[in-house]
Structure 1
Amino acid sequence: MPYLPIPASSDLLPEGYYVTRWQEPGRAEADFGRFDVKRVVRTIYILFSKSEIPIAPEGKEIMDLADLSTPLPEWFTEEDLSIYASLYEKNGFTYPLQIPYRALHNIKGINVPPDPTIQVPVLLIEGEKDYSNKHPWRYQAMKEGIMQKYVRDMEISFIPEGCHFVQEQFPDQVNQLIISFVKGHSVNS
């Protein structure tokens, strides 16, 4: 989620939204714990690769939202899934749930500095089809220039078919954008 100099508020999000759910200690662990790690990772990649916001209805959890017959995205292979699952089997989901989901709670009372602007060049690469672009406040911040008030030297690159995992979906394109950005902002010694 891009930097915005306002405290994050789960009051702005629907109750069944995964961010709201995963902020609650123990809830995601109980949801994930119903399934093997590979199925959890598969479900996350299926849900988060879509352009719809994943929201669980009352009485359901996030892991209940995926149709198991849905194939993995074409750019995410069964081999990728096995490798990712093995890493989560080894290390668990605690840290990925803590940062950023549960850290958002800790930000609520943060004091914003008098000048919250970022003073260095910033590149933000986003997928046009990322479900998070459907949040009205986020779309406004990204597309209508609100972020430029706080990040004055910012380049935003939208990849038309990109989803939430744009860096995995289009690695060559993302790498080229990063290389071009760095070259364009190099300081001669």
Structure 2
Amino acid sequence: MEGIEHKMVSVNGINMHVAEKGKGPVVLFLHGFPELWYTWRHQILAFAALGYRAVAPDLRGFGDTDAPSSITSYTCLHVVGDMVALIGSLGVDQVFLVAHDWGALVGWYLCMFRPDLIKAFVSLTVPFRPRHPTLKPIESVRALFGDEYYMCRFQEPGKMESEIAEYGAATVIKKILTGRKPGPPILPKQNPFGNFHDTDDIKLPTWFSKEDLKYYTNKYNHKGFTGGLNYYRALDLNWELTAAWTGVQVKIPVKFVVGDLDMVYTTPGMKEYVHGGGFRKDVPLLKECVVIQGAGHFINQERAEEVNAHIHDFIKEFLIV
């Protein structure tokens, strides 16, 4: 990770760790769960070499960024507030936004609340999710996928943390990152991450080294998983807070990239939304939806060069020469 600079920035009442490299137009990279700024290591180096300033924070609750204890400190308003302050600290009026997983959800909120700050958005794996006018998110997914759907299992404070602790951070991270089972993610109440005696046999994929796993494990052993899990626990509160944005379109130029084996993309109803006109109706400036064959959820790491090319081909259209 040669040449990547690390600093702490005061944003929205917390201290945020930021990794960055390069000079030029800013590309802001937002990670998901259970990840860190480190998920963007390939992108930071590539885009710095292409003449951009690549910036990747640890979101609140993750890595070396502060982790407030209250669930109510993890709403979309808090996290978008962090990003607005971070962009302001960079000394620029607008950024290119690239985001994955939970970071993409934060990205959609950022585009919805502060479109003036975003030149263009590349969303990886998570399309826009319009607010349902009457159904809260957790009751909705529980009705569709049952109590063992991962978002439902994450709701009780402390419960998932204790289950993760039984396996250990390294095993859980390895299990999540190597998982390629399509469809809605289910965490059984018994052995949610597999049989204990089998977990040592999980082989790392070629795109994720032992050194990568060690970095993640060290950070999660220090910070814990509660910050990341609190994003899921604030989903219903987000629904309440965003009532005023019901039916609002996201009017930012967008490119969507997803793997055909992705757990979100293969969840029932998602392909129909992405390709059937619903996505474009909600995001009228959606330029393209790219489906990468044979790729799973963590495409920015698994298919880094291919994803980098898709990102650059899109954002370079918006450069002012």
Q: In structure 2, what is the Cα distance between the partners aligned to 1:37 and 1:115?
A: 39
Q: List per-residue Cα deviations over 1:14-63 (Å, max 9, x = no partner).
A: 2212121112222211111212221221122233x333543234x41422
Return the letter of the residue paired with 1:171: A
Q: Identify the residue that residue 120 of structure 1 maps to in structure 2.
A: 252
Alpha-carbon distance, 1:170 to partner? 0.7
Q: Identify the residue that residue 130 of structure 2 maps to in structure 1.
A: 5
SS for the counterpart of 1:107 is helix
Q: In structure 2, what is the Cα distance between the partners aligned to 1:122 and 1:182?
A: 9
Aligned equivalent of 2:306, options 161, 173, 182:
173
* Larger RCO: 1 or 2 (CA < 8 Å, sep 6+): 1
Distance 1:72 1:53, change over 3 A: farther
Q: In structure 1, what is the Cα distance between the partners aligned to 2:271 and 2:155?
A: 23
Q: In structure 2, what is the Cα distance between the partners aligned to 1:65 and 1:178?
A: 38
Q: Identify the residue that residue 50 of structure 1 maps to in structure 2.
A: 181
Q: How many residues align?
A: 185
Q: In structure 2, what is the Cα distance between the partners aligned to 1:65 and 1:50?
A: 16
Whether contact under 8 Å (1:131, 1:163) holds in the other structure is: yes
Q: In structure 1, what is the Cα distance between the partners aligned to 2:184 and 2:246?
A: 34
| RMSD of aligned residue pairs (Cα, Å) | 2.2
Whether contact under 8 Å (1:13, 1:20) holds in the other structure is: no
Q: TM-score, normalised by structure 2?
A: 0.53
Distance 1:145 1:112, change over 3 A: farther
Q: List alignment gaps of at least 5 residues for structure 2.
A: 1-125
Per residue, is there more helix in 1 or in 2? Answer: 1
Structure 1 segments, 4+ long, off by >4 Å, are none
Alpha-carbon distance, 1:65 to partner? 6.2
Aligned equivalent of 2:220, options 61, 80, 88:
88
Per residue, is there more strand in 1 or in 2? Answer: 2
| 2:145 matches 1:29 | no
Identical residues among aligned pairs (%): 29
Moved more, 176-185 or 111-120: 111-120
| 2:238 matches 1:107 | yes
Alpha-carbon distance, 1:70 to partner? 3.0
SS for the counterpart of 1:72 is coil
Q: List alignment gaps of at least 5 residues for structure 1.
A: none
Whether contact under 8 Å (1:131, 1:164) holds in the other structure is: yes
